[in-house]
Structure 1
Amino acid sequence: MNVAPLLRHLGKLAAALTIVLVLVCAVMAGLARLGVQVPARAMTSVAWHGVLMLPVFFGALVSLERAVALQRAVYLLAPAGAIAAGVVLMAGAPPVAAQWLLIAAASVSLVASLQVLRKQPALHLGVLALAVLGWWSGNLVWALTGDVSSSVLCWLAFLVLTIAAERLELTRMLRLPRSARYLFFVPVVAMIAGVLWALWRPEEGTRLFAAAVVLLAVWLANYDIARRTVRQRALTRFIAVCLLGGYGWLALSGVLGLAGALMPGHPWHDAALHALTLGFVFSMVFGHAPVIVPALTRLPVKYHPLFYAPLAVLHAGLVMRVTGGLAELFWLRKAGGIAGAVALALFALTLIAAVLAARRERARRPGGRRISNPTRSS
């Protein structure tokens, strides 16, 4: 019996479960910052809420997905390094180890991205490489300065550009005007320029970054394939709804950022930051999890309309959180934060139920054939 494939599968499953643990700790740390009572052990991670969420959780998730797609075991060092950094922080150890683990993880991911780009030059792959460079740069800035807030813009660029690149790839299925691809360069170049400028002139650079976010949201809302797939049914429509709703939150974050809200210390900072991370990024996670989970874990997922329930709770909670932040109503902001955590837990339960339903259905089929999952055409 060849145990190598089994060991690789178990390794990927263990990595996925550890990534989920990091997310749980990050969410509890965020709740603690809002004054919610959490387990005492989680209180040690309060200062690292943003780090656990942005470079650790999303860094590990994105790099794991990339490593599985490339089918090279060496690239699994990237998610492993990010996960190890999270464990270091959650254990209460000095952050220097986590900083250099994250740099090493991003370096492996960057090498992988550049090698893929060299073999297959394409615009979306170039943007993906720039996204990973944003992750790497944010980790380096944190290590050199010790200031997490100085790295946030780099990490946000990593997430936004990663999603934008994946959506750009799918526009190849459409007959877009040539001008659309040229227009895509405008927010990407502006975003990179904003991140670099912010290292010297934080306020001006952050506002340029915010302007790029607005332009990108407009581009995605106009040219993304989700505008067409939202008219379809089942999982394809659900993904499109997640995407289109996320683009609205992305635009709002950019508009608030133009008013200075992406700067640390601004009274609307919480609203702008979570409109982007919860409203935009987690909407993408909700939409693509039924496709990503089978790819990473070989666990089938059966779509059910109940997937809309946690999505609705996520958006409702974010409305409360953003409104509370803008109106300076802390109780409403806190309620929105709790609702957001409930949405994530509810989505996890919905996903588990979908996996169990798929396994039951597959067991009833002759020969135990797998349930096919939709392609990335959404």
Structure 2
Amino acid sequence: MKPGLAARWLLRACLIALPVLLVAGVFGGLLRAGAAPAAVGGDWLAAAATGHAFLVICAFMGTVIGIERAVALRHVLGFAGPAASAGAGLAWLAGAPMAAAGMALGAALAFVAVNAVIIRRQPAPHTVVLGLGALAWALGCAAFAGGAGPAAVLPWWLAFLVLTIAAERLEMTRLARRRAGAAETLYAFVALLLAGAAASALPGPWGGALYGLALAALAAWLVAFDIARRTVRAHGLSRYMAVCLLLGYGWLFVAGAAWVAAAFGHPARDAALHGLALGFVMGMVFAHAPVILPAIARIKVLFGWPFYLPLALLHASLLLRLAGGAASPHWLAAGAAGNALALAAFAATLAGAALAWRLKAPDGARKTLA
């Protein structure tokens, strides 16, 4: 059953809002890193800087993931969540943070409901982990709407992204043979992550330490059991995705170690947050976008070697940011600028690949997407 007219309009509205939300989130991050002048942009840029994590995680990634689940649900009500998360980001930029926080909470609760329906339809390990990720997002949004600080909010928001990605990889590899106890080990690490997120709001370092250990453990599990270890020897898109995944798992481990170090007072907060958000999460976006984009936007892309260029820039600039940024704010700003350039280059590569497919594909194949 194809989505109705209302669902298509909601989807289009979300797809139009997504570039605005990403650009605002990136510019806010550049301002925070000292890579953009504070005088440029006016009130909206100040709002983007204060709401950098909110815009990137709740507004942008929440909308992207919500669209993907809504397409899987194939019901107009499934698009209410991504519409609300996109609206939350726009409300934040418009100077209405309380309304934005309420809309984000509504979006997260709608996402929980969507995942509950999907779990009922398809009770499987990956759908349960997706549901737990949705619940983590809702708990973080509830804490944010209640005025909690970053220490109590960010672990929940980032757990939402980590668990969503882990569930997607679990789904992709569900037909592969795994050693006995692999699933149970994953569940234990997921429980450890959620416990660390909950304990992060408490005084002392142990919540953060537990959270970091869980991130590192999940990275080790993904390296051990993901099919990327085999597909990296393939060719074309399969090899590219595997390279993205394995690099991302490496950054997930680094972020976990940095999270533990930061919990005990070491200056590793930027490595913890951006090793996770950029190295792992955006690395996964780079990996899956050539596959997900045709599914949700009905746009096919022609894969080629240019996809490796923004990937290399992303990881090189992240290394510059985290290795040099600890010694000099100039290196931090340069690395952040490189991160932003990598995202822009990836968007341009996707657009070019979509155009290349349209130019190369036969007329009949193009019409199937119309």
Q: TM-score range by the shorter chain?
A: over 0.9
The aligned counterpart of 2:129 is 127
The aligned counterpart of 2:119 is 117
Written as runs of structure 1 = structure 2, the 5 A alignment for 1:281-292 is: 281-292=281-292
Residue among 214, 223, 235 paired with 2:237: 235
Matched residue type, 1:138: G
**Count of residues paired in the alignment:** 364
Written as runs of structure 1 = structure 2, the 5 A alignment for 1:265-276 is: 267-276=267-276
CA shift digits 1:250-270 (9 cap, x unpaired): 000001112125x8x862211
Does the CA-based 8 Å contact 2:70-2:79 persist in structure 1? yes
Matched residue type, 1:367: G
The aligned counterpart of 1:375 is none
Does the CA-based 8 Å contact 2:310-2:342 persist in structure 1? yes
The aligned counterpart of 2:93 is 90
Does the CA-based 8 Å contact 1:45-1:92 persist in structure 2? no
Could you tell me how far apart the structure 1 residues matched to 2:103 and 2:169 are?
Answer: 29
The aligned counterpart of 2:149 is 147
Written as runs of structure 1 = structure 2, the 5 A alignment for 1:134-173 is: 134-173=136-175
CA shift digits 1:214-255 (9 cap, x unpaired): 110001011101111111111111111100000000000001
Does the CA-based 8 Å contact 2:197-2:207 persist in structure 1? yes
Could you tell me how far apart the structure 2 residues matched to 1:79 and 1:105 are?
Answer: 6
The aligned counterpart of 1:81 is 84
Does the CA-based 8 Å contact 2:88-2:100 persist in structure 1? yes
Following superposition, the deviation at residue 160 of structure 1 comes to 0.4
**Residues 291, 116 of structure 1: CA spacing in aligned structure 2 closer, same or farther, 3 A cutoff?**
same
Could you tell me how far apart the structure 2 residues matched to 1:96 and 1:300 are?
Answer: 38
Following superposition, the deviation at residue 366 of structure 1 comes to 5.4
Secondary structure of 2:173's match?
Answer: helix
Is 1:57 aligned with 2:54?
no
Could you tell me how far apart the structure 2 residues matched to 1:63 and 1:330 are?
Answer: 36
Does the CA-based 8 Å contact 1:358-1:371 persist in structure 2? no
Following superposition, the deviation at residue 44 of structure 1 comes to 3.2
Written as runs of structure 1 = structure 2, the 5 A alignment for 1:1-378 is: 8-35=7-34, 36-37=36-37, 38-40=40-42, 41-93=44-96, 95-201=97-203, 203-260=205-262, 267-325=267-325, 327-362=326-361, 365=362, 367-368=364-365
Could you tell me how far apart the structure 1 residues matched to 2:3 and 2:152 are?
Answer: 42
Could you tell me how far apart the structure 1 residues matched to 2:4 and 2:347 are?
Answer: 27
CA shift digits 1:133-166 (9 cap, x unpaired): 0100000001112434420000010000110111
Secondary structure of 1:302's match?
Answer: coil
Matched residue type, 1:18: A
Secondary structure of 1:151's match?
Answer: helix
CA shift digits 1:261-281 (9 cap, x unpaired): 5x8x86221121100000000
Does the CA-based 8 Å contact 1:300-1:370 persist in structure 2? no
Matched residue type, 1:108: A
**Residues 366, 98 of structure 1: CA spacing in aligned structure 2 closer, same or farther, 3 A cutoff?**
closer
Q: What are the ranges of 5 or more consecutive residues in structure 1 without an aligned counterpart?
A: 373-378
Does the CA-based 8 Å contact 2:28-2:45 persist in structure 1? yes
Task: Tell me the TM-score normalised to structure 2 length.
Answer: 0.93
Q: What are the ranges of 5 or more consecutive residues in structure 2 without an aligned counterpart?
A: none
**Residues 146, 180 of structure 1: CA spacing in aligned structure 2 closer, same or farther, 3 A cutoff?**
closer
Identity %: 41
Matched residue type, 1:112: V
Secondary structure of 2:174's match?
Answer: helix
